[in-house]
Structure 1
């Protein structure tokens, strides 16, 4: 017979079963991979949730227990285990009972191992060493000990060994306020070495003005000379 209990109904039934007396309590804060203080993620020992005899328990008790384990696995974001439990909840009561008696710990162990491997992301040398020791000696107890305590102890060592960042030197402000226009020095005209007195007493003469004045003077001289010549010729003719 296949049961089709809604997930909400199973969770509601699970609330009627008291939590295991040895349930994990809130742990002290720890450090994350970025060395920031955060609340520790506590992994529950699911074995402590099994407070019934699976051989003699009723079908409802078995399903409520499965719902409790499912809620815990989802809360801890465990891989593998939630899907495995949900698959059995959708099956027969006998399949669910057999799963809880023999296979749930295997699925849970795989989920914990994957969680240990996930802690290696951006991990320091102490975390890597601690995680490798756990992976080399796999068991549910070693996984839980590492995830709940060993990880945070190793991470504290890695964070303590990191060098303290040195503050960068501040730039010295310029004497001239920013945004103030810079006035370029005016070029001083050079004094010709041939000026009178040799000490700069002569007036500076520009080439363009000198040529203009000289041209006008020459033209006036030519006009004056021409007028003089023409006047004398006229007088000579009149006298004759």
Structure 2
């Protein structure tokens, strides 16, 4: 049967025959949740891929379109839409055609909503407020506008309101710091024979030396007198 086209062929056709020529767009960088400058993630509007009339398109055209949407969904790291398309690609062309006409946007909207909720991780007050507003609207246009632009604008406000970190003071002493001299050991002050000489001996040490000297003089005088008396007796 003609509708049984290999999946590899469909993927090749999806890239070789784009539905609409995409113009090169240069997006300005944005901030991530850590306030670091990064390249923006741009989510494609899948509705722009549908350039054929699904009621009159051939089975091959329908399958090529499904492959193009699958490639775009995988590039955006979606989970719901790729699984749904892969399941329909296993069925008939009529089932795939009905899915593309009625249910593809529902699955895509679910993926977009999940992606919006994930931006709340580590979010600041402005991102939280913008996210809640988008979730309340709940439309595909609101999701795309938020993910491609609104998220980065709100994140820039949150990063700008963060306090500037205070520099840590240096532990290196300044040039004007006065360093106190280390006191010399008291044991070296009175040590005799040291370099430069010691201090003079005074006080109790001087009195002791004088007492010993006087006692020696007395003993010497007494010895002299005793010796002289003995000599006189011997001569007589």
Q: TM-score range by the shorter chain?
A: 0.7 to 0.9
Aligned residue for 2:132? 132
Does the aligned pair in 2 maintain the 1:54–1:62 contact within 8 Å?
yes
1:172 CA drift (Å) = 2.0
Q: Which residue of structure 2 lines up, in the alignment, with residue 121 of structure 1?
A: 121
In 1, Cα distance between equivalents of 2:13 and 2:142 = 32
1:8 alignment counterpart? 8
- Secondary structure of 2:16 counterpart: coil
Aligned to 2:143, the other structure's residue is in SS state: helix
Equivalent residue, structure 2, for 1:81: 81
Is the aligned partner of 1:198 residue 2:203?
Answer: yes
Mapped partners of 1:116, 1:135: distance in 2: 8
Alpha carbons 1:14, 1:64 under 8 Å: kept: yes
How many residues end up aligned between the 2 structures?
192
- Displacement of 1:91 in angstroms is 1.5
Q: CA deviation at 1:28?
A: 1.2
User: 2: distance between equivalents of 1:23 and 1:73?
Assistant: 19
Q: For 2:147 and 2:24, locate their aligned partners in 1 and report how far apart those are by CA, in whole Å.
A: 13
Q: Please list every run of 5 or more consecutive structure 2 residues that lacks an aligned counterpart in the other structure.
A: 176-181, 191-200, 209-236
Structure 2 match to 1:188: 187
Instruction: Report the Cα distance in structure 1 between the residues aligned to 2:24 and 2:141, rounded to whole angstroms.
Output: 14
Moved over 6 A (4+): none
The answer to whether the 8 A contact 1:80-1:110 is kept is yes
Whether the aligned pair in 1 keeps the contact of 2:19 and 2:50 (CA below 8 Å) is: no
**Partner SS for 1:18:** coil
Alignment of 1:163-178 (within 5 A): 163-173=163-173
Check 1:189–1:41 CA distance in 2 against 1; reply closer, same or farther (3 A cut).
Answer: closer
Is contact 1:43–1:147 with CA below 8 Å preserved after alignment?
yes
**Distance of 1:2 and 1:128 partners within structure 2:** 51
C-alpha spacing 1:166/1:98, structure 2 compared with 1 (3 Å): same
Taking structure 1 as reference, are residues 174 and 30 closer, same or farther at Cα in structure 2, changes over 3 Å only? closer
Alpha-carbon distance in structure 2 between the residues aligned to 1:173 and 1:5: 78
- The 1-side partners of 2:163 and 2:149 are apart by 24
Q: Could you tell me which residue of structure 1 aligns to residue 49 of structure 2? A: 49
Q: Report the equivalent of 1:38.
A: 38
Counterparts of 2:21 and 2:77, CA distance in 1: 23
Answer whether contact 2:134 2:142 (CA < 8 A) is retained.
yes
Given that 1:2 and 1:93 are in contact with CA atoms closer than 8 Å, whether structure 2 keeps it comes out as no
Change (3 A) 1:113 1:66: same
Give unmatched runs, 5+ long, in structure 1.
176-182, 204-240
Indicate how the Cα distance of structure 1 residues 162 and 202 shifts in structure 2: closer, same or farther if over 3 A, else same.
Answer: farther
